[in-house]
Structure 1
Amino acid sequence: MAKLDWIREELKELKDKGLYVTIRKLESSQGPWVVVDGKRVLNMCSNNYLGLAAHPKIKEAAIRAILDYGVGAGAVRTIAGTMELHVELEEKLAKFKKREAAILFQSGYNANLGALSALLTKKDNGVFISEELNHASIIDGMRLSGAPKVIYKHLDMEDLKKKLEENKDKEKKIIVSDGVFSMDGDLAPLPEMAELAEQYDAMLYIDDAHGEGVLGDSGRGIVDHFKLHDRVDFEMGTLSKAFGVIGGYVAGPEEAIEYLRQRGRPFLFSSAPNPPDVAAAIAAVEILQHSDELVKKLWDNTHFLQNGLRELGYDLGNTKHPITPVMLYDEKTAQEFSKRLYDEYNIFAQAIVYPTVPLGTARIRLEPSAAHSKEDLQYVLDAFEDLGKKTGFLK
């Protein structure tokens, strides 16, 4: 149809510029090796940091919950959708994070939408002070609130202070930032941020999606990593990465969390998370409370992979996390690497290109997990050495 010609043109342009994303289809459970489009490949691009997505205890918990509670929650939380499982998970998450209370949402994305749009609105005399590289869910949460925002430069505390000074007369100020930045693996400087928040009487809201299960004592996250529990007002977490399930939450002071129960729109207007997912998340939290073995294995694998890639001559940027950005810079080069890794080496590692990252900063983002063996990771190193030399990227 002529009226859709523009869509075809847009898709063609994406392909011509090396920006078209090929969406692969998994035909097995998540794990170090998966079946993708009928082919067994080494999975190096999943957020399943601890290998919990197919952990026997978590699968058993989900099955047991289906038998006891059924498949669906059946309603929003404020009508008939709050089950004892939801309350148990919220209590366990609050204890795990060393906070007073937690509120459960359907996803990390919904958690940011619900919390940010409730904590500050266009009716308030307030402002969001937002990190330059914040996740899309933070950006959309601020948009939904209708409140003004100003952006400070990535990791630049002088610029954050400048923005706070320019807005010091605002009644409400919320500094909002990722804790771990998902494309580069670098960390927000939380101690300095907490000092500035206190100096300017601002709230501090941290998205800890990639810190959960990775940083801190037994994977309690970036706030625990810096020992700042009483100085960060809100921590958003997701259950879909290191915890291996689905869902999101916000932890913080009891009264503030109760306010989000009254005003968080996804909590109020979308059905509650399903019983098997909630039970699986409870099991994941219990595994981490019991042992830090998986977190230690994740970091051991991370150091092995990243040290090996750097020795080969690859630039991994400023990562301080298992997120491993292998910088290839050019979009078409990154797409070629991804395709050839899949076709020639049976390695599943997606290219990350614009608009996910700025033009000229394309990369293959590798993500080791606790489920990978050293043999798996050595195989990746050998493949990157071979392919790097074949393409002329490595001299």
Structure 2
Amino acid sequence: MDYEEYFKASVQKIKAEDRYRVFADLERHSGNYPHALNRRDGAAEDVVVWCSNDYLGQGQNPIVLEALVEAAEKLGCGSGGTRNISGTTHLHVILEEELAQLHGKEAALLFTSGYVSNDAAISTITQLMPDCVILSDAWNHASMIAGIRHSGCEKRIYDHCDMAHLERLLKEIDPARPKLIAFESIYSMDGDISPIKEICDLADTYGAMTYIDEVHAVGLYGDTGGGITQREGLQDRLTVIEGTLAKGFGMVGGYITGSAALVDAVRSNAPGFIFTTTLPPPVVGGAIASVRYVRQHNELREKHQERAAKLKQMVADAGLPLMESVTHIVPVMVGDPVLCKRATDMLLADYNIYIQPINYPTVPKGTERLRITPSPFHTDALMEDLVGALVEVWQRLELRQAA
């Protein structure tokens, strides 16, 4: 039996469906963001990155880097174990306190990634409540879907941001059964925002818990970067607020915040937390500095929003098919996986602009797109170059213009 054929066949199927992903070999230089070196065919060339989730450029902030280096020199590179077995440093304790304060919650718990935090927290919380039902937005992230599947609980999927559908599903469930509504604040491929207040109102009416994923909002929205829930004054109405250190804070890692009792229960029961080496001290030290910096510098958020708004207007004025977005996400629609890949290949090869094509299964078939994420460091000149290149690529490939 040739086992390798199974693996080759799986990849070939992906290639046949035009879903095969090729990584850009990038070398970011601190202090030069959003520029990077792209290594290809034995050569290296300068490119402008337009698809990074390091939304505020915190990955190159000198204050963050200094804290990271200081932690490495004092505490070493690795944590040395799980949180329960020698892996909890005082920096981990401080960071959890900072994150709890950021979201107005009693406690926080760190995980090795945002994916792990959603998977571990959702599955553990719901498993602790016998006969729990999970109500999940149809567009929830793969990590939330994994947590729901691993919970083994009954699930009900409501149409994306459809409050009438969510209420119908809630009405069908026995009031005595535990219920958890799981959703995101910002949906990162379309850039839309959930009706958080309305979801909380329904949760109150039908006795449900709420679990919100704020990974594409923390650091970017709210007076101190607490996300959409902070901006809208709703933090105290959410049972669990989940976030990441990898986007607005420019580091790596995930976390949840909530009541002391809930967080302690996850800490004590979640395999995804218990049985893994914890985040390295240098990462945690850098994250503390980043969270504190972002909380204190609202002008960074204001600049980020200004850049995003300006780019969206430029894209629209150029007649390109911009999907309407109320956030910092700038989706430009293509609608075909082959053409989407060709467009991004041309942008990289001919214009030194790096944007990763977004195809199925990240987005539904027929909605393939370029997902552009401007930062405070993308200048007017860079935006003009981008829009000019997009217009030329659209003309060369005869892609659909704006309606």
What TM-score results when the alignment is normalised by the length of structure 1? 0.96
**Aligned-partner SS, 1:50:** coil
Q: Report percent identity of matched pairs.
A: 35
In structure 1, the residue matched to 2:390 is: 384
In the alignment, the residues of structure 1 paired with residue 143 and residue 17 of structure 2 have an alpha-carbon distance, to the nearest angstrom, of: 26
**Aligned-partner SS, 1:230:** helix
In structure 2, the residue matched to 1:32 is: 34
In structure 1, the residue matched to 2:236 is: 230
In the alignment, the residues of structure 2 paired with residue 231 and residue 362 of structure 1 have an alpha-carbon distance, to the nearest angstrom, of: 35
1:170: Cα distance to partner?
4.8
In structure 1, the residue matched to 2:120 is: 114
- What is the letter of the counterpart of residue 127 of structure 1? V
Write out per-residue CA displacement over residues 55-83 of structure 1, whole angstroms, 9 at most, x where no aligned residue: 11111101000111111111111222111
In structure 1, the residue matched to 2:282 is: 276
In the alignment, the residues of structure 1 paired with residue 155 and residue 333 of structure 2 have an alpha-carbon distance, to the nearest angstrom, of: 31
In the alignment, the residues of structure 2 paired with residue 81 and residue 170 of structure 1 have an alpha-carbon distance, to the nearest angstrom, of: 40
In the alignment, the residues of structure 1 paired with residue 163 and residue 231 of structure 2 have an alpha-carbon distance, to the nearest angstrom, of: 19
1:254: Cα distance to partner?
1.8
Instruction: Specify every segment of 5 or more residues in structure 1 that has no aligned partner in the other structure, as ranges.
Output: none
Write out per-residue CA displacement over residues 140-171 of structure 1, whole angstroms, 9 at most, x where no aligned residue: 11111111111000010001101111114352
8 Å Cα contact 2:344/2:356 also seen in 1: yes
Farther-moved stretch of structure 1 (27-36 vs 198-207): 27-36
8 Å Cα contact 1:218/1:295 also seen in 2: no
- What is the letter of the counterpart of residue 227 of structure 2? G
In structure 2, the residue matched to 1:100 is: 106
- What is the letter of the counterpart of residue 336 of structure 1? R
Farther-moved stretch of structure 1 (237-246 vs 90-99): 90-99
8 Å Cα contact 2:320/2:391 also seen in 1: no
8 Å Cα contact 1:179/1:211 also seen in 2: yes
Farther-moved stretch of structure 1 (307-316 vs 186-195): 307-316
**Aligned runs of 1:174-253 on 2, under 5 Å?**
174-253=180-259
In the alignment, structure 1 residue 143 sits paired with structure 2 residue 145 = no
**Aligned-partner SS, 1:120:** helix
**Aligned-partner SS, 2:364:** coil
In the alignment, the residues of structure 2 paired with residue 210 and residue 273 of structure 1 have an alpha-carbon distance, to the nearest angstrom, of: 21
Farther-moved stretch of structure 1 (96-105 vs 47-56): 96-105
In the alignment, the residues of structure 2 paired with residue 209 and residue 29 of structure 1 have an alpha-carbon distance, to the nearest angstrom, of: 25
8 Å Cα contact 1:122/1:148 also seen in 2: no
In the alignment, the residues of structure 1 paired with residue 277 and residue 6 of structure 2 have an alpha-carbon distance, to the nearest angstrom, of: 36
CA RMSD in angstroms, aligned pairs only: 1.6
8 Å Cα contact 1:61/1:279 also seen in 2: yes
Write out per-residue CA displacement over residues 233-253 of structure 1, whole angstroms, 9 at most, x where no aligned residue: 100000001100011110111
In the alignment, the residues of structure 1 paired with residue 274 and residue 8 of structure 2 have an alpha-carbon distance, to the nearest angstrom, of: 39
In the alignment, the residues of structure 2 paired with residue 257 and residue 12 of structure 1 have an alpha-carbon distance, to the nearest angstrom, of: 43
In the alignment, the residues of structure 2 paired with residue 181 and residue 42 of structure 1 have an alpha-carbon distance, to the nearest angstrom, of: 25
**Aligned-partner SS, 1:149:** strand
8 Å Cα contact 2:124/2:266 also seen in 1: yes
In structure 1, the residue matched to 2:62 is: 56
In structure 2, the residue matched to 1:257 is: 263
1:6: Cα distance to partner?
4.4
Instruction: Specify every segment of 5 or more residues in structure 2 that has no aligned partner in the other structure, as ranges.
Output: none
In the alignment, the residues of structure 1 paired with residue 7 and residue 270 of structure 2 have an alpha-carbon distance, to the nearest angstrom, of: 35
- What is the letter of the counterpart of residue 355 of structure 1? P
- What is the letter of the counterpart of residue 22 of structure 2? T
In the alignment, the residues of structure 2 paired with residue 386 and residue 317 of structure 1 have an alpha-carbon distance, to the nearest angstrom, of: 19
Farther-moved stretch of structure 1 (124-133 vs 23-32): 23-32
- What is the letter of the counterpart of residue 225 of structure 1? R
8 Å Cα contact 1:126/1:170 also seen in 2: no
In structure 2, the residue matched to 1:308 is: 314
1:390: Cα distance to partner?
2.1
Write out per-residue CA displacement over residues 192-237 of structure 1, whole angstroms, 9 at most, x where no aligned residue: 0000000001000000010111122232101112210111110000
In structure 2, the residue matched to 1:341 is: 347
1:123: Cα distance to partner?
7.0
| Selected match of 2:160 from 148, 154, 175 | 154
In structure 2, the residue matched to 1:299 is: 305
In the alignment, the residues of structure 2 paired with residue 28 and residue 122 of structure 1 have an alpha-carbon distance, to the nearest angstrom, of: 43
**Aligned-partner SS, 2:85:** helix
In the alignment, structure 1 residue 364 sits paired with structure 2 residue 366 = no
In structure 1, the residue matched to 2:338 is: 332
8 Å Cα contact 2:29/2:35 also seen in 1: no
| Selected match of 2:296 from 280, 285, 290 | 290
Write out per-residue CA displacement over residues 264-318 of structure 1, whole angstroms, 9 at most, x where no aligned residue: 2222111111100000100011111221121111111101111111112223323
8 Å Cα contact 2:56/2:304 also seen in 1: yes
**Aligned-partner SS, 2:73:** helix
Aligned residues: 395
After superposition, the Cα gap between the structure-2 partners of 1:86 and 1:157, relative to the gap in structure 1 and judged at 3 Å, is same
8 Å Cα contact 2:175/2:207 also seen in 1: no
8 Å Cα contact 1:127/1:170 also seen in 2: no
In the alignment, the residues of structure 2 paired with residue 170 and residue 48 of structure 1 have an alpha-carbon distance, to the nearest angstrom, of: 43
In structure 2, the residue matched to 1:41 is: 47
8 Å Cα contact 1:327/1:364 also seen in 2: yes
8 Å Cα contact 1:122/1:146 also seen in 2: no
